Amino acid sequence: MRRAHRQGGGASRGRCAFFVALSLSLILLALAVPRAAAWLNLTVGRQATDLLWRGEMPAPEGVRRALSSREAALRWLELPRARKDLGIAHLRLAVFALREGERLRAREHLERATEQLEAGLARDPVDPWAWNELAWARAYGGEDVRAVDALTMS
């Protein structure tokens, strides 16, 4: 009689361990899927964003791809790098619009650039290049005092 009782207890412990392992697996999967999806989205516009970070202007299609891939990544997970990439892309588009004399479009891109760079730097402030780009965005936008503040941080 005792033997049967022990076997039953072992089976319930086995089931309990199975459900604990299954629960932990599901939790880890739920944490991993958004992160993996976000980083996979970042790979799409990588070439264009690398050019943007070097101060070069990729083809317009590359910039659009970079913008859409960063926005898609942010729908999955908040990534400071994606925010900063968006900010730099908008800053380059603003400079391009200024060269073409489209002040209204340039103003919109400058506002977005400042917004995205500030959001990215709020979560990851140790990035001198992004602070420098934020200073440029503020300077182009006529915020000279705030531009100096951003330059001090870089």
Domains and their CATH numbers in the chain: 2-153 (1.25.40.10)
Question: What is the mean pLDDT of the segment spanning 88-100?
Answer: 90
User: Predicted confidence band at 2 (pLDDT cuts at 50, 70, 90)?
Assistant: low
Q: What is the pLDDT of residues 46-77, one digit of tens each?
A: 999 999 888 888 888 888 899 999 999 999 99
Q: What is the pLDDT of residue 14?
A: 84
* CB-count burial class (<10 Å; 0-12, 13-18, 19+) for 119: middle
* CB-count burial class (<10 Å; 0-12, 13-18, 19+) for 18: exposed
User: Predicted confidence band at 8 (pLDDT cuts at 50, 70, 90)?
Assistant: low
Q: What is the pLDDT of residues 118-134, one digit of tens each?
A: 999 999 999 999 999 99
Residues 6+ apart with CB under 8 A from 139: 147
Query: CA-to-CA distance for 64 and 72, rounded, in angstroms?
Result: 12
User: Predicted confidence band at 78 (pLDDT cuts at 50, 70, 90)?
Assistant: very high
93 CB-side CA count, 13 A: 26
Q: Is the pLDDT of residue 143 over 70?
A: yes
Full-model pTM = 0.77
Q: List the structure tokens of 149.
A: 């503040």
Closest to 63 in 3D by CA, of 72, 52, 74: 52
Closest to 68 in 3D by CA, of 45, 84, 94: 45
